[in-house]
């Protein structure tokens, strides 16, 4: 399973995020996070593509994760 993000193009128009989340759970996806304009799903690519086709007012993309850089080395100061 992969993670996919659905983001509303315009907050006031079209289908609500809650409606899309209900359809996603019926199709076998797991809702990981939901806000008023964003939906994070754990599902197969086929389910994600099917949801994307039925929701033209959402932008669909795969989740992109970035690692944090290592913390800087702290060197003891001279006295």
Of 56 and 77, the structure prediction assigns the larger pLDDT to: 56
Q: Are the C-beta atoms of 51 and 20 separated by less than 8 Å?
A: yes
In a domain, 74, yes or no: no
In a domain, 76, yes or no: no
The per-residue pLDDT for 30 is 94
CA distances from 16 to 47, 48, 51, 59, 78 (A): 18, 17, 13, 13, 60
* Nearest residue to 62 via CA among 72, 52, 76: 52
The dihedral through the CA atoms of 11, 12, 16, 18 has a sign that is positive
Q: Tell me the CATH number at 37.
A: 3.30.70
In a domain, 35, yes or no: yes
Residue 79 confidence class, pLDDT cut points 50, 70, 90: low
In a domain, 78, yes or no: no
In a domain, 23, yes or no: yes
**18-60 confidence digits (pLDDT tens):** 999 999 999 999 999 999 899 999 999 999 999 989 888 899 9
Q: What is the number of structural domains in the chain?
A: 1
Q: 24 lies in which domain range? A: 2-62
Residue 72 confidence class, pLDDT cut points 50, 70, 90: confident
In a domain, 69, yes or no: no
In a domain, 75, yes or no: no
**Is the per-residue pLDDT at 1 higher than 80?**
no
């Amino acid at each position: 399973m992969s993670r996919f993000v659905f983001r509303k193009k315009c907050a006031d128009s079209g289908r609500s995020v809650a409606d899309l989340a209900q359809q996603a759970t019926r199709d076998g996806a797991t809702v990981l996070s939901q806000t008023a304009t964003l939906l994070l799903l754990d599902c197969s690519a086929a389910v994600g593509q099917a949801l994307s086709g039925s929701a033209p007012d959402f932008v669909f993309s795969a989740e992109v994760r970035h690692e944090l850089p290592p913390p800087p080395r702290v060197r003891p100061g001279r006295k």
